[in-house]
Amino acid sequence: MDRDLSCTCGRLRGKLSNTEQCTRIKCYCDDCQAFAVFLGKPEQVLDAEGGSDIVLAHPRQLSVTEGAGALACMSLSDKGMLRWYAACCNCPIGNTTRNRKLAFVGLSSAFVAATPQAMDAGFGPVRMLGYTEHAWRPVPARRWRDLLPTLQFGVKLLKARLSGSYRNTPFFDAAAAPVVAPVVLSPAERAALARPRP
C-alpha cells in the first residue's frame, strides 16, 4: 500500500510505498528529544514519556514529490545521525546515518501520519522500543518482544547492502554525499538543547 506524506504546511510532500514492509518503533533517546527541541516542536513530536513515534523504511520506498527545495538537514554532532526536516515549517522528516549503505530511514510520525490514531491505522502497533533508559517516565521493559523485529531489521540492512539497493535514496546523491549539506551543531549548541525531564 502507498501513503501520501506531507510536512505541516504542505509545501514538502512525498509518497511512501509498500507500507506493509515498514516497522513502527518508539525511540526515547536524548538525541531525538534534542532534535524536537531544535525544531521548536517538542510538544508535537514527543509523547508524554519523551518518545518519538517512528516508521522504519528502506529509503527507496520514499520519494519526494513536491517542494524538494524545502528539504533541510542537521546533525547534533560531527559524527551524529543526519536529521532531515522541512525548513518551511520545521516539520521533522526522518533520520538516516551518514553512511548510505546502511539503508534505512526513520520517518517521523509528524510527516507520515500526524496522530497516534493514524499511526495505528496505517502501520499497526509499535514493535520495538529504543533507549528506554532516557524516557522521562518508566517504560515497561520488553527485550524479548523486541528481539525478532531487531533481527528482521538487521536482515533487511544486509539485503540492501548486498543487492546495492541502498543506492536508491532521496537523501544521498550518486557520489554518496547528502543532497543537502547538514548544519552541524557545536558541543555548546547541542548542550543548549537539553531539557529537564518533566
C-alpha distances in Å from residue 2, one per residue of 95, 112, 124, 135, 176: 20, 11, 15, 32, 27
Dihedrals phi, psi of 25, to nearest 5 degrees: -130, 170
Q: Residues 114-170: pLDDT tens digits? A: 788 889 999 999 999 999 999 999 988 776 677 777 777 777 878 878 888 889 999
What pLDDT sits at residue 47?
Answer: 94
Please tell me the total number of residues recorded for the chain in this structure: 198
Q: What pLDDT shows up at residue 198?
A: 66
Query: How far is residue 146's CA from residue 126's CA, in Å, rounded to a whole number?
Result: 10
Q: What is the pTM of this model?
A: 0.93
Residue 4, pLDDT score: 95
pLDDT of residue 33: 96
What integer pLDDT is reported at residue 144 of this predicted model? 62
User: Could you say which DSSP state residue 70 is in?
Assistant: G
Mean pLDDT of 41-62: 94
* Residue range 165-188, pLDDT digits in tens: 889 999 999 999 999 999 999 999
Q: Assess whether pLDDT exceeds 90 at residue 196.
A: no
